[in-house]
Structure 1
Amino acid sequence: MPWPKQIISPPSPPDLDILGDQVTLHPGGYVAPSTKPGGDGEQNLVEHMARFRESPLDFLREVSLHVSGQGWRAYDDVLGQPIFYSGFSEDMKRMIMQTPMLRQKLEELAGSRVLIEEREGLLGSETDLEEKKKKKKKKKRRQEAIEESLKEVALEMTDAMICKMESKRFIRGAYYVCTQLLTRAYHQGIHVSSEEVLRLRSVAEDAAGKKQSIIFLPCHRSHVDYVSLQIICYRLGIALPTVVAGDNLNFPVVGAFLQHAGAMWIRRSFGEDALYTTLVQAYIDTLLQNGYNFECFIEGGRSRTGKLLSPKFGILSFLLDSVLSGRVNDAIICPVSTQYDKVVETESYISELLGQPKPKENLQDFLSASSVLSLRLGRVDVRFHEPWSLREFLNDQIARIDAFQPRSPSSPKGTSRKDNRVRLLRTLGFRVLSEINAVSVVMPTALIGTVLLTLRGRGVGKGELIRRVDWLSDRVRNKGGRVAHFAGAPTEAVVDRGLEVLGSGLVGIVPGLPETTYYAVDRFQLSFYRNMTIHLFISEALVSAAMYSKVKQGGGPDNQMMSFNALYEQVAFLSQLFRGEFIYPTAGLLANLNATLSGLESDGVLSLTKDATGKLLSAQVSAQERASGRENFDFYCFLIWPFIESTWLGSVSLMGLTQPLTPQGEAGETWVDFTKAQDTAQLLGKTLYHQGDLSYFEAVNKETLKNAFQIFEEEGIVFIEKNGKDKKSRSLICLAEEWAPQRDPETGQIISQGRLWDYIEMIAKSRREGKNRRDGATVSSRVLRLTDSLGQQLFENAKVDGVIGQEGPGSFVKRKKSRRDSSRSKMKARF
């Protein structure tokens, strides 16, 4: 088996002879690829891994090089601060415990406890001067004792939390084992951009000299994400980052392995544990002050839908505080995109999205998942955005805030500072997500999945599939996106490769036809791959869906013409509706709308009418697009329709929260279990899908419905509140009074009118309706009766659970409404 060029960096002359090419050695043994005319600038960083059955001698040679630790395998002269030495963990714990922040918090907590004991009379009385002296000494001794006790607790927490990268021999073995396992599942390896990794090494070298940390912020679609990034850093000779991981993965054997490979365990929820919160901040401060690289996932958990999730501000807030406070001078932000031909966990994701509870991670499930190692899942593509200074970003943003939004003298003290912090966090989070999208590579499986789910009809011939994949690839590139490169292979070969990876479980072939015809077997799972492309076309999708509100009315071209004002209104509504789902361009609604309309006109999808001054008056589907069967216009609609359908479903389910009538004929007032309300919305969606009133089964997925309910809460349509402060407290939901529809006092049935009904109708304007449209109203009386029936079951369950009879919305709802109205006025859709 010949050694591949570009990526091997063996130390001995014979290995260099095998390369037969001129190479450039860098610290850590990394070899820069030779530049060749027509090269794609990509490398497979794990192509050197040999298999025993294929090449026993090469396999044994590779093992011997890892065991002996030669060349880059020794992981010696890495770029970054030293981490692999005996006593590293103890040094880290000592530094954390000595941080002024933690010591101050321990003193503060001990003092608070002493005051409580004093108020409870546990420290004696003060009848005379002598007693006061004794009490003062007793308080001091008691405080010291409590502080020592808290230190012990903090030390135990620290030991359980911190990563323990102490052994180079261990990390060499871990690298080899993980790479062997990963390349058995992803048989085409881990691919990176040569230009990007050389730039990253240059940044790492500069950061190491300044003792600054590189903060890697990857997207999160799979557990493979952090394994692949660790492998890349090892292979490039960059100090491994400390990786923030949820303690749900800290189960026996595997947890210890991951902790010694770089995992930092944190709780999923900190609650009101002030000591633990301070401890996490102290650890992050210590890492960044000493220049250790760091990694956390900006989305929090793994994306179950295939697209980027909204940023989570937990760990990001700690990082921001480290630099804003001045405790850390600076750190380097590096957004990272990881894309897969096929994600290992998609089947389990679908189970979760359909309402199955997420199983707790354990060793048995981990070992049983080893079957994936025999799969051929294609390749992993990792891309690195150009890194940038967090300090410079913050200085620039603070200067903008001071220049354009000075605090009003009448504002409460501290309000502006708090608001500015939230604004900084949001800007930072969405910038990182935008840059992840900017460097993401669209894989062949994503192209195929997108095409199959955006065509009318049951299936597609191979020739048409190839044509549409070509068209979509061109559209991706025109939008500034990247398509995975396959060394000039024809589209047919790339499509065949993608179909092989997806397998017959996702894409089937209709037998006995004169042309090979494919169809989507599992549309729900295939939607995961379609969603990997939607960020590139979200502007076009929103505009097309808004236009569809006119197109669906039928008639001739003139009848389907939409005024600019009406188009603007519907696009504004949709962009607000999906502000938690998608990341929009930052130019603002009007600028983005005009740019999108111009682009659709240039592509021949829309025709625009303007007055003599160039002002846009109206838009309609172009004659050219009509002649082609509206395939491009429909493509954009198909991308967004499942999300519109899901939000419509969520809003319809709210009708079921209409309070039942009391015996006196008045509307009652109660709260219902929020989780059960979401489950009921899913059950409603499954029923409507099988009855033909819902076009997309993926519209019932739990994640999109959860986002819809979040928007409903932000709009003040519903109120969601915990019924207690402990972890086991349930969340309850109640329909806001001003949004609640009325009931017929005689029949008790919900009347199809009112503010919520109008809101549903607004969503439905852009919805692709199901086949059953026998009733004139968008939400037919039959659907409304089903919704109400399910809602009544919720209220019956509330009685059994003891929710009815608790304090209703009352004053705290008014406080929440006031707060939400205030916050909602500040939230502007960025499309």
Structure 2
Amino acid sequence: MYHVDTGEQKTAGGRQVYLLDAASTLEVQALNQWIDSTTPDGELRPPSVVLSGEAAHEVAETVRGIAEDPLLIPLRVTLSEKRRGGILRRAFAPRGNSLPTKAWQRWVQGDDPDHSAVLVGEPATLHDLASRFEKAGGTSLSSFIRRQASLALDRAERDVIGSEYKIPRFVVEDMTEQKKFHDGMADLAEDVGEDIAVVEQRVHSILNEMVATETRRAVEMWGTLGAYFSRAYKVDVDRTKLQRVRELNKKHPLVFLPNHRSYLDPLVLRPALLTEGLPLNHVMGGINVGFWPLGPIAKRSGVVLIQRKFSDEIYKWTLRQYMSFLLSKRFNLEWYIEGGRSRTGKLRPPRFGLLTYLVDALENSDAEDVYLVPTSITYDRLHEVGAMAAESHGAKKQAEGIRMALSYIRAQGKLRGNVYLTFGEPISVKSILAENEDKRVAVQKIALTVSHAINNTTPVTPAALVTMALLGIEDRALNVHEMWAIISPLAEYIIKRGLPTAGGVDISEVDVVRSAVIAQVNAGVVKRFDGGPEPVFYLAQDKHLVAAFFRNNAIHYFVLRAIGELVVLPDQDQTGPSTTVSMWRSALKLRDLLKFEFFFGDKKDFGARLEAEVTLIDPEWRTNLVDPEYAISTLEAQDLHLAHRVLQPILEAYQVVADQLMLQPMDSEFDKPTFITQCLGAAQARRLRQQLDHSEAISGELFDTALQLADNRNLLDPGGENLAQRRRDFAHEINEWARKARAIRDMAHRTLDEVDPLTVPSSTTDTDQREDDA
């Protein structure tokens, strides 16, 4: 807060004038009493001007009549922290630009003198404000003075209440009064062939729908709702990386780009950032969540409600202008680069739309650069995964609304574990633009760089290890010894690779794994059977996609190892020995087959990482390629097999799609919804006949990505040249990879049959007691 020194507050005009940002007569009286009390004895009391009512439209003329170049000092009454202690006062007290009611004024009037405080904003001379107004452009100097006074007081108030309330005021006025904005709107009207008045009306309508109109009351209410909604979780935050982010934010605006796993994501992320001293983000959210009462509260607490699909050029232009304004004012943004929530637990392909608008906005803003912060949000357990799994089996998605929200709130009443917030290294947008002349290429590179960074900072959770173990051996229950025989080499592999782990826990500790098993039992994903000589654990019926969701949070770390296992196996019709050339060609084919499931680097990066994985399997692999039996015997001897746990469910789902495609008529229009339904039925029948090893292959999401691949290969449109043969070749290719994955699965089963129950390390906690806890 600025402190007034009357001995120094003189200008060439020789006078100072107080600007009273008051919402009521009582506040005007309080501010005038403060001026009286701070004016030294014997000196002339400085004049004051109220920034509300009819007089507000003539502020410039009024102060110029007092002196040629007076020093303007803004004042505001704010409630003291002391008087916000009561529950009723916190609930009903005015916040920010909320107008205090008469009832509130009567309530606080007559209280002790500590009930309120006077804020003093940083002063400015009339000449300085007029110069800034001329530079920015606008329609009214009086309006500009009022806005600048209010903004100065907001900054002073944040010194008292914290950066959480860094709230933009007068956004629409600031944007629409600038000459640059009017010139751009005129050009837009010409481009779209509309009258300027029609375009202006439409722009204002869009801004009124879109612009976040924050108030302190709504910010606090949204924070309270967020804490209540996410009460089922303990939040683990990577504070070391956030310190670097916070320092960067002192000079540049930031855009936080998290993965999207849950409706809880923004409610979990917000308090973590505020705790580290970062200001409130403007969250770019879909207008589909704008339903009452959450929508109005969200909009008043920093959520920018935008259309899922931008309807026209006027809407796109308006969005770019708004983003440019926010960047120029160094407000931070946030949106989910995947678009919607992931239904599978894997990171979905990035959406380019908002990134494109961000690049345009940066070019048209006063910001020197903007930094993107890749953000990973990972849950131990998650309520809505069951509903998303049902949707993947064909169930209809529940529409967003108050009924859904109430059901969701009730579901959070039980403790569900931890949520981990981790952050990648911030990415300079300007530096990537400088390296790529083609803006479209730059946007794609930005999106992929962020996606890789999110994946690379996502921690491996104990839940991912447990579900990976059980999904790879789906039709068989595991005792503790067998479970550890699978997870122990997996943990060693993770440590050897230096992969991040959730909360920094040592996943090689048997107690960590045991606790994760107990958590999955309590969640109903894993079942325990105690009727035999020892407890055994197995996946609950119809919970395979739920388990796969948590495994898939970390699955990207194991894809290259799984590919390495498959490419070293010879093809079924192969007659000669494998060579480095044939293996590389095979790896590229598999990479192309999986390109809609995973993010791969360029060919050079892919090759280097793949070779490193194969070397982990066998450092001498190059010298033994001439022996056709060597690869099989080497893989057989491994204590870690991943291809059947990572890739076989995908390949089995792709098999279903490829086989169903061969049954489709060659001259009829392709009907995707009907085809997906047919695939769900065919896959269920195959699973019942034990022709599929994995129930998670019965997945609409996997069928959809298989169809993306088929469409990429021109296998869907009717009448294509040699369509029937190309569809058969597609099915044959997938069947060959699935055969290799089943061969790896058989190796893993044989290894499991040889498990020695004495190989399990002793627990630091009593084993029987921990098992009883389950």
Question: Would you say same fold, with TM above 0.5?
Answer: yes
Structure 2 equivalent of residue 803 of structure 1: none
- Tell me how far apart the structure 1 counterparts of residues 564 and 518 of structure 2 sit (CA, whole Å): 35
Q: Which amino acid aligns with 2:381?
A: K
Separation in structure 2 between the aligned mates of residue 655 and residue 219 of structure 1, nearest angstrom: 36
CA distance in 2, matches of 1:654, 1:511: 45
* SS at structure 1 position matched to 2:345: coil
- Of the candidates 756, 764, 768, which is equivalent to residue 727 of structure 2? 756
Per the alignment, do residues 541 and 547 of structure 1 end up closer, same or farther by CA in structure 2, a change over 3 Å counting? same
Quote the residue 1:520 is aligned against: 539
Partner of 1:30: none
CA distance in 2, matches of 1:456, 1:559: 34
Q: Aligned partner of 2:726: which letter? A: R
Contact kept, 8 Å, 1:336 with 1:384, in 2: the verdict is yes
Partner of residue 198, structure 1? 243
Classify the secondary structure of the residue corresponding to 1:687: helix
1:93 aligns with 2:172: yes
Contact 1:549–1:766 (8 Å) recurs in 2: no
Q: In the alignment, residue 600 of structure 1 is paired with which amino acid? A: I
Q: Secondary structure at the match of 1:286?
A: helix
Q: Distance in 2 between matches of 1:484 and 1:770?
A: 29
Contact 2:544 2:696 in 1 (8 A): yes
Partner of 1:536: 557
CA–CA distance in structure 1, aligned partners of residues 643 and 531 of structure 2: 32
How far 1:253 moved relative to its partner? Answer: 0.3
Whole-angstrom CA distance in 2 between matches of 1:63 and 1:631: 60
Q: Could you tell me which of 642, 651, 657 is aligned with 1:644?
A: 651
Partner of 2:592: 576
How do 1:25-424 residues align onto structure 2 when only pairs under 5 Å count? 76=159, 83-84=166-167, 88-89=168-169, 91-98=170-177, 103-104=182-183, 106-108=185-187, 110-111=189-190, 146-167=195-216, 169-183=217-231, 185-186=232-233, 189-204=234-249, 206-207=250-251, 212-271=252-311, 273-324=312-363, 328-398=367-437, 420-424=438-442
Partners of 1:561 and 1:620 within 8 A in 2: no
1:707 matched residue in structure 2? 705
Match of 1:610 in 2: 623
1:414-493 aligned at under 5 Å gives the runs 420-455=438-473, 458-485=476-503, 491-493=509-511
Q: Contact 1:652–1:760 (CA<8 Å) still a contact in 2?
A: yes
- Conserved in 2, the CA contact under 8 Å of 1:247 and 1:265? yes
Give 1:495 deviation, angstroms: 2.7
How far 1:177 sits from its partner (Å)? Answer: 3.9
Following TM superposition, by how much is the alpha carbon of 1:467 offset from its aligned partner in structure 2, in angstroms? 4.4
**C-alpha distance in 1 between matches for 2:740 and 2:494:** 29
Whether the 8 Å contact between 1:682 and 1:700 is mirrored in structure 2 is yes
8 Å contact from structure 2 (residues 648, 741) kept in 1 = no
Look up the equivalent residue of 2:718 and give its one-letter code: L
Contact between 1:716 and 1:736, CA under 8 Å: does it hold in 2?
A: no
The gaps in structure 1 that reach 5 residues or longer are 1-59, 115-142, 399-419, 660-668, 719-733, 742-753, 772-831
- Give the 3 Å change call, closer, same or farther, for CA 532–488 of structure 1 in structure 2: closer
Contact 2:242–2:423 under 8 Å retained in 1: yes
Structure 2 vs 1, CA of residues 457 and 369 (structure 1 numbering), >3 Å: closer, same or farther?
A: closer
Q: CA deviation at 1:254?
A: 0.8
CA distance in 2 between partners of 1:490 and 1:345 (Å): 29
2:495 corresponds to 1:495: no
Equivalence for 1:735:
718
Q: Distance in 2 between matches of 1:61 and 1:489?
A: 45
Larger CA Rg, structure 1 vs 2: 2
**Deviation for aligned residue 1:269:** 1.1
- Classify 1:290/1:479 alpha carbon distance in 2 versus 1 (closer, same or farther; 3 Å): same
Asked if the contact 1:549–1:765 (Cα under 8 Å) also holds between the matched residues in 2, the reply is: no
Partner of 1:674: 672
Shift of 1:288: 0.9
Does the CA-based 8 Å contact 1:298-1:312 persist in structure 2? yes
- C-alpha spacing 1:658/1:77, structure 2 compared with 1 (3 Å): farther
User: Helix, strand or coil: the match of 1:222?
Assistant: coil
Match 2:736 to one of 759, 765, 768: 765
CA distance in 1, matches of 2:206, 2:347: 32
Q: What displacement does 1:532 show? A: 1.4
Q: TM-score, normalised by structure 1?
A: 0.66
Report the alpha carbon displacement of residue 609 of structure 1 after superposing the two structures with TM. Answer: 3.9
What is the CA distance between 1:683 and its match in structure 2?
2.8
Amino acid at match of 1:525: V
Give secondary structure in 2 for the equivalent of 1:269. coil
2: distance between equivalents of 1:320 and 1:707?
A: 29
Q: 1:673 to 1:467 in 2, by over 3 A?
A: closer
User: For residues 763 and 319 of structure 1, what CA distance do their matches in structure 2 show?
Assistant: 40
1:691 pairs, out of 689, 692, 696, with 689
Distance verdict in 2 for CA 1:225–1:181, change over 3 Å: closer
Secondary structure class of the residue paired with 1:164:
coil
Work out whether residues 303 and 309 of structure 1, in 8 Å CA contact, stay in contact via their aligned partners in 2. yes
Shift of 1:758: 1.5
Pairing of 1:546-585 with structure 2 (within 5 A): 546-548=567-569, 550=571, 562-585=578-601
Please report how far the alpha carbon of residue 152 of structure 1 lies from its aligned counterpart in structure 2 after TM superposition: 2.2
Query: Residue 448 of structure 1 contacts residue 469 of structure 1 at CA under 8 Å; is this kept in 2?
Result: yes
Distance 2:673 2:420 in 1: 37
CA distance in 2, matches of 1:232, 1:688: 46
Match of 2:608 among 591, 594, 605: 591
Q: Would you say the 8 A contact 1:216–1:294 is kept in 2? A: yes
Normalised to the residue count of structure 2, the TM-score between the two structures is 0.70
Cα distance in structure 2, aligned partners of 1:456 and 1:113 = 58
Task: Find the counterpart in structure 2 of residue 54 from structure 1.
Answer: none
Q: Distance in 1 between matches of 2:741 and 2:489?
A: 29
* Residue 752 of structure 2: aligned partner: none
Q: CA deviation at 1:75?
A: 6.7
Pairwise CA distance, 1:620: 4.1
* Counterpart residue type for residue 533 of structure 2: P
Q: 1:358 to 1:543 in 2, by over 3 A?
A: same
2:577–2:626 Cα contact (<8 Å) kept: no
The number of aligned residues is 593
* 1:111 Cα offset (Å): 4.2
**Of residues 496, 520, 528 in structure 2, which corresponds to 1:509?**
528
Distance 1:648 1:327, change over 3 A: farther
Instruction: Indicate the percent of aligned positions where both proteins have the same amino acid.
Output: 21
The structural deviation recorded for 1:485 is 3.4
Residue type at the aligned position of 1:94? E
SS of the residue aligned with 2:738?
coil
Alpha-carbon RMSD across the aligned residues, in angstroms, is 3.3
Q: C-alpha separation between the residues in 2 aligned to 1:658 and 1:101?
A: 58
Please state whether the residue corresponding to 1:711 is helix, strand or coil.
helix
Shift of 1:492: 3.7
